[in-house]
Amino acid sequence: MPLYMDLHKMPNITMDEAKKAHVADELLQGRYGVKYLQFWVNVEAGLLFCLVEGPDKTAVENVHRHSHGHVACAVVEVDPSYCSLIMGNNIRIDQGLVHRESGIMDPGTRFILTVSFYAKVADQSLKTRESIINKFAKYNGRRIKLSGEDSQVSVFDSADEALKCAKDIQAELSKNKKNTSFTIGLSAGQPVTENNEFIEETVRLAKRLSHIAEEGYVLVSPLFGELCNDDVTKKGNKNVRLLTVAEESFITQCCEILDEQISNESFSIDTLVKAAGMSRAQLYRKIQALTGKAPNTFIRDLRLEKARGLLKRKTGMFRRLLSKSVSVIHRTSQSASRSGLDVCLRSWLSYLFPFTL
């Protein structure tokens, strides 16, 4: 039977109210061929997530509607194995309410760590990948395997453990800067969103942060920083940057514009400026401050990262995107010598086709 997870927005909800609603669901679920399994409550945010088996979304919604009237604002079908990976198995359930193994109530929030790295030689790439995966396990992370992605991604139940893992990976990879470059992104979010997505929004943000971070840096989302007991901005956290809400919003806006325009061969800085609704000077200052890159370089890097992903998926869009990316390199290197331009092109082609040049 299909498995669903839903989202309820219930400001000021209490534990007793949540448990009573679950009991009411259990009393009525048999009529609709539904089975409510467990639920997570985030009291501070006023959010509740239910995990339920049912023949379809309508049956799932009808139980809520007729048992207590609190209809979900989003219902998404989830793969049982993937749901288990994201939400974890080491849990305790009390009258349907999920607690962590330690006994602490689980609010459902999950923390995503993404590491993007590039190694110059195959052996080093494999060693780096293995080292990252081992660090995930050391800090109780659960690795997420994403199709067509070279980035290493893990989900954590604890922001503190995710940050410790990121810093440990950062320290380890920094020992070999000559052969390996890397960036890290950390994000936090709820499992189900109003867009009917299951954890995708949080994973997408972590990947974007890792793609735009300065080399060797850990870029942290505002919500992650808020939920982490460790002060992300303290002096001991070297090369770790916490974004503001406005900065995250700006990054998301730029990345969404680039995603929408990915096949537009005439895309330029002027296109981004117009779509973002700001001046070239404003755009330059913001991108430079957040990424340490000029806007042209920022666009080029994101396009090439997308091209590499498309190459791994063997999609037809890759050739067009690569052609446009190379033309961007030419335009942004007009003042460079011919030999310098060749080095730039060779560097990025070796990134797209590692170990073949």
pLDDT tens per residue across span 173-192: 999 888 889 999 999 999 99
Lowest mean pLDDT among 25-29, 234-238, 282-286, 347-351: 347-351
- pLDDT, residue 220, reads 96
SS (H, E, C) the chain: CCEEEEEEECCCCCHHHHHHHHHHHHHHHHHHCCEEEEEEEECCCCEEEEEEECCCHHHHHHHHHHHCCCCCCEEEEECHHHHHHHHCCCEEEECCEEEECCCCECCCCEEEEEEEEEECCHHHHHHHHHHHHHHHHHCCCEEECCCCCCCEEEEECCHHHHHHHHHHHHHHHHHHCCCEEEEEEEEEECCECCCCCECHHHHHHHHHHHHHCCCCCEEECHHHHHHCCCCCCCCCCCCEEECCHHHHHHHHHHHHHHHHCCCCCCCCHHHHHHHHCCCHHHHHHHHHHHHCCCHHHHHHHHHHHHHHHHHHHCCCHHHHHHHHHHHHHHHHCCCCCHHHHHHHHHHHHHHHCCCCC
- pLDDT, residue 313, reads 58
pLDDT of 308 over the 80 cut: no
Confidence of residue 217 (pLDDT cuts 50, 70, 90): very high
Answer with the residue of higher pLDDT: 62 or 348: 62
pLDDT tens per residue across span 144-158: 998 666 789 999 999
pLDDT over 70 percentage in the chain: 85
Q: What is the pTM of this model?
A: 0.85
pLDDT of 355 over the 50 cut: no
- pLDDT, residue 338, reads 45
Q: What is the mean pLDDT of residues 325-352?
A: 49
Confidence of residue 341 (pLDDT cuts 50, 70, 90): very low
pLDDT of 348 over the 60 cut: no
- pLDDT, residue 271, reads 87
